[in-house]
Amino acid sequence: MNSINKKISVGFLWNLASLFFSKGATTVFTLLLAKFLAPEAFGLVAMATVVFELANAFVQSGLGQALIRSKSVSDEDLSTVFFANLGLSFVAYAAIFFSAPHIASFYSQAELTVLVQVMGLVVFVNAIKVVQLAVLSRAMNFKAQMKANTSASIVSGALAVIAAYYDFGVWSLVVMMLSQALISSSLYWIMSSWRPSMAFSFKSFKELFSFGKNLLAEGFLQVLYQNSYVLVIGRFFSAEVTGLYFFAKKISNLISKQLTEAVQNATFPALSTLQDSDEKLRYKYRQIMQLMMFLIVPIMALLGTLATPLFDLLFHEKWSGAIPYLELLCIVGAIYPLHAININLLKVKGRSDLILKIGVFKKVVNLSLLVCAIPYGVYWITASQVVGSLLCLIPNTYFSSKLIDYSLKLQLNDAGKPIVSALFSSLVTLLFFNVSGLSSIINLFLGGVILMMVFFITAFWVKSEAINLLVYKVKRK
């Protein structure tokens, strides 16, 4: 167990470093681009992104996750996945290229045709790094991944800002996406010693795909679902409103989703070695749940509560319409780790069939709420995600309870204390804003200090288990 703890801790630290540097760089450059570009530019990219993300989900096909989870893999397995992904990428890009005019027609945005065809090239680039990423993850070499992702984020962000400065408009965002994928893929190949051999095994493909096929279906549905909001907003509302929503979503994802994925990437390979011990899995997942919620919930509370002074200080007034969407999406982001941890657990247990079933149920619920919200505008479309996220905790935790006896009640007990602490600290901070009458920069600074102080005091008062875990780990050092 100590060996697993060490692997998880080291992996998490490198993934956290990758998040801090690579995603931090992406955040900074995204904020800089917002100063040069109008919301319409982000709206057009949001519309085009839906297409290539669907294609990317098709290309990934769950084979990379199958390689990471497998107890042992051969060179033949690796080469099989490499060539399978390469072939799938050709099929996916052909579909993108020829469907581009129809996509532009759907949104009534003629310039989307060329935009989609060029952005679709990312599918090729991402396909060639799937195996290299799996090899590095199996070796728990997250240091190399951090270096590759950070370098790619910095260089691509700088290129995009230069392009925006010289009035490339929406194409500066395309430059960022393409160059980031190309640089990271190149560095993965440089840092990994594995090279494909001219081998392809249908037996190997069938075995790996038996696990990956459900992840493929779930991944495809998940991308379609996640982007359904952009699809609907882009179809029924303006490019400007679509850009405001997309910008708010991008900011919230940079924190909640990326932090969660940093933990998942670090824990999945290590915890896969415990897949046959339910008691040890439950013990480790409870710790992960407690620490993740203690880390992510206050950050999302901070972002949502300070959204107004933050936007007033950093952005032009044209972006203020994104604030209400960001505040709601921060609530979704605070709940997201609960969903992600349960899915990660099912992956460790090899139950990709259950991941698909849960995914289908969640999509039906959320899409039903989306359809009902359309007549009431984008704010209520965003609010429907909060309702859906809460409702879908029930089926998402049901199978965790069945598999390792980690029930919804137990999960809410582990996650509830950070949530209560964050809600109370946000309320205190908002009350301070109502009476302060101070400038945005002072409100931003003092509001952040007040929120975090109240959060830690409240968490200590309610005896959050995460504090005890952190104290224990520090004492062991």
Per-residue confidence band for 23, with pLDDT thresholds at 50, 70 and 90: low
- Please count the CA atoms within 13 angstroms of the CA of 461 that sit on its side-chain side: 11
How far apart CA 119 and CA 177 sit, in angstroms, is 8
Percent pLDDT > 70 in the chain is 83
Structure tokens at 362: 């969640």
Count Cβ atoms within 10 A of the Cβ of residue 59 and give its class: 0-12 exposed, 13-18 middle, 19 or more buried.
buried
Residue type, 88: L
* Of the candidate ranges 209-218, 227-236, 253-262, the one whose mean pLDDT is the lowest: 209-218
Question: What is the pTM for the complete model shown?
Answer: 0.72
CA distance 53 to 224: 8
Look at residue 378 in the predicted model and tell me its pLDDT: 92
269 pLDDT band, cuts 50/70/90, is: low
Amino acid identity of residue 55, one-letter, is: A
pLDDT value, residue 5: 52
Please give the Cα distance from 401 to 123 (Å, whole number).
Answer: 37
Q: Are 384 and 245 in contact (CB under 8 A)?
A: no
State the pLDDT at residue 135.
80
Q: In this model, does residue 472 exceed pLDDT 60?
A: no
Q: What pLDDT does 455 receive?
A: 92
pLDDT at residue 40 greater than cutoff 90: no
Domain boundaries, the chain: 1-246, 275-477
**Does residue 399 register a pLDDT over 60?**
yes
Q: Which range scores top for mean pLDDT: 10-19, 24-33, 269-278, 387-396?
A: 387-396
Q: What is the predicted pLDDT for the residue at 264?
A: 66
Phi first, then psi, for residue 156 (nearest 5°) are -65, -40
By the 8 A CB rule, do 245 and 229 touch?
yes
* Statement: residue 308 has pLDDT above 80: yes
How many Å apart are CA 152 and CA 155, to the nearest integer?
A: 5
**Does position 218 have pLDDT exceeding 70, yes or no?**
no
Q: Are 116 and 103 in contact (CB under 8 A)?
A: yes
Q: Report residue 429: phi and psi, to 5°.
A: -65, -40
User: Exposure of 386 by Cβ count < 10 A (0-12 exposed, 13-18 middle, 19+ buried)?
Assistant: middle
Residue 315 DSSP symbol: S
Instruction: Give the other-Cβ count within 10 Å of 32's Cβ.
Output: 17
Q: What average pLDDT does the segment 284-293 reach? A: 79
130-138 vs 239-271: helix crossing angle, rounded to 10: 40
Task: Give the range among 167-181, 253-267, 354-368, 454-468 with minimum mean pLDDT.
Answer: 253-267
Residue 167 φ/ψ region, left for φ over 0, alpha for ψ in the -120 to 50 degree band, beta for the rest? left
Name the pLDDT band for 110 (thresholds 50, 70, 90).
confident
User: Does residue 391 have a pLDDT over 70?
Assistant: yes
DSSP 71: S
Render pLDDT for 238-249 as a digit per residue (tens, 0 to 9).
888 988 998 888
- Give dist(CA 209, CA 408) in Å, integer: 31
Residues in CB range of 419: below 8 A, 6 or more apart: 293, 297, 334
CA atoms within 13 A on the CB side of 202: 0
pLDDT at 381: 94
Question: DSSP class of residue 303?
Answer: H
**If you average pLDDT over residues 286-313, what whole number do you get?**
86
pLDDT digits (tens, 9 = 90+) for 338-388: 888 777 777 777 777 777 788 788 888 888 999 999 999 999 999 999 999
8 A C-beta contact, residue 133 and residue 186: no
Residue range 284-305: mean pLDDT, rounded: 85
Q: Kindly state the average pLDDT of the residues 30-42.
A: 81
61/196: higher pLDDT = 196
User: Is the Cβ–Cβ distance between 38 and 318 less than 8 Å?
Assistant: yes
Distance CA 78, CA 193 (A): 13
Residue 75's closest CA among 198, 167, 185? Answer: 198
- DSSP string across 138-164: HTT-HHHHHHHHHHHHHHHHHHHHHHH
For residue 92, pLDDT beyond 60: yes
| Average model confidence (pLDDT) across the chain | 80
> Residue 326 and residue 329: Cα distance in Å, rounded?
5
173-189 per-position pLDDT tens digit: 889 889 988 998 899 89
Which value, to the nearest 10 degrees, does the dihedral of the CA atoms of residues 247, 249, 251, 254 take? -140
Predicted confidence band at 316 (pLDDT cuts at 50, 70, 90)?
A: confident
The whole-angstrom separation of Cα 137 and Cα 131 is 10
- The pairs formed by 376-383 with CB atoms below 8 angstroms and a separation of 24 or more are 378/233, 378/237, 378/241, 378/245, 378/325, 379/324, 379/325, 379/328, 381/229, 381/232, 381/233, 382/229, 382/245, 382/324, 382/325, 382/328, 382/329, 383/328
Res 137 pLDDT > 80 = no
pLDDT category at 253 given cuts 50, 70, 90 is confident
Would you place residue 9 in the very low, low, confident or very high pLDDT band (cuts 50, 70, 90)?
Answer: low
Per-residue pLDDT band at 312 (split at 50, 70, 90): confident
